Amino acid sequence: MNNQASVLIVDDEEVVRETLDLLLSDQYQLYFAENGVEGLALALKVQPDVMLLDAMMPRMNGFDVCRQIRATPLLAELPVIMITALDDRESRLMGLRAGADDFLTKPLDSLELSARLQTITRLNRYRNLVEQRAQLESAHQILLTSYNRTIEGWVNALDLRDKETENHSQRVTQMTVEFARKMGVPDDQLENIRMGALLHDIGKLGVPDAILLKPGKLTDEEWVIMRQHPENAHKWLSPIEYLRTAMEIPYCHHERWDGTGYPRHLQGTEIPLSARMFAIVDVWDALCSDRPYRAAMPEPEVLEYIQKQANTHFDPALVEMFLAMRAGK
């Protein structure tokens, strides 16, 4: 791959083209055109980094070529250095109005030519890098939006499947992020917590309807299958790099402070902080919500229950923080 900047030289004088070839061929990839019409066609074809354009040419002079370049969308940003024997104020103003970026006067000074080309190609390269970065950032944002909409689609599918917990995922996500903010979790970690909370029950998509939607109590064998949903989540999400940092809640939200939870029987601070916070919110929302088999409990009773579960089910320090947050709502 040729990494040299490319220069299109448009000049009707063969001696000028040959001179520029000798001066520049070791530094730049060169293209040559003998007149303005040929130069425009070649510019569209090769998309050079800069054009060296003679002002005075037959058929189409450099000023007209420059105007045409600025009017052509694919060439409008092409840097143009106009080469002119007319070293006067009026012709330079005419060139600027036509859209030229810089001027060189014949006979050409090789050092000045090199300096002007280096400056303009460096600036053009920087502009291209800025544009490429903006394009990458835009593409990245589009990809993130696509990921988020896909994830929300998964969660909506789960909510539609399990009417009993409809909108539960959205409620616990909002509350968990609020809890995390109160706990002083840095802003750059809140998105992982939001995503993890939203996906906390995604593993239930692998649980058969006969178990997930069973109206009565589950058998011991059915509970074995139901309790596989955190491992389902881990298996499905871990290959997705974008979601790996959000996997703590889906994988660990059924662990308990005393080590009697599942699937790994983690204990105390072995359980990730995000999962410990979420476990409290998850139970709070479940008990505060109506179910077909029971009415919602009053929140004071729910908070009393959560307090009693400190040191067994929940992190006691987080329980105190949650109770304080709800008291100050």
Tell me how far apart the alpha carbons of residues 265 and 196 are, in angstroms, rounded to a whole number.
20
Domains contained in the chain, CATH given: 6-134 (3.40.50.2300), 162-327 (1.10.3210.10)
The amino acid present at 226, given as its one-letter code, is: M
Could you tell me the pTM of the whole model? 0.58
47 φ/ψ sector (left φ>0, alpha ψ -120 to 50, else beta): left
Q: Which of 133, 21, 120, 22 is nearest to 80 (CA)?
A: 120
Q: What is the pLDDT of residues 32-53, one digit of tens each?
A: 999 999 999 999 999 999 999 9
Least Cα distance to 275 among 302, 311, 313, 308 occurs for 313
Q: Which residues on adjacent β-strands are paired with residue 80?
A: 51
Compute the average pLDDT of residues 65-80.
Answer: 92
Separation between Cα atoms, residue 112 and residue 84, nearest integer Å: 14
Mean pLDDT of 98-106: 87
pLDDT in tens, 133-174: 777 777 767 777 777 777 777 777 676 666 555 678 888 999
What band does 329 get if pLDDT is binned at 50, 70 and 90?
low
Q: Are 280 and 257 in contact (CB under 8 A)?
A: no
Tens digit of each residue's pLDDT (9 = 90 or more) over 116-134: 888 888 777 666 666 777 7
Q: Is the Cα dihedral 226, 228, 234, 239 positive or negative?
A: negative
Query: Which residue in 306, 269, 310 sits closest to 285, CA to CA?
Result: 306
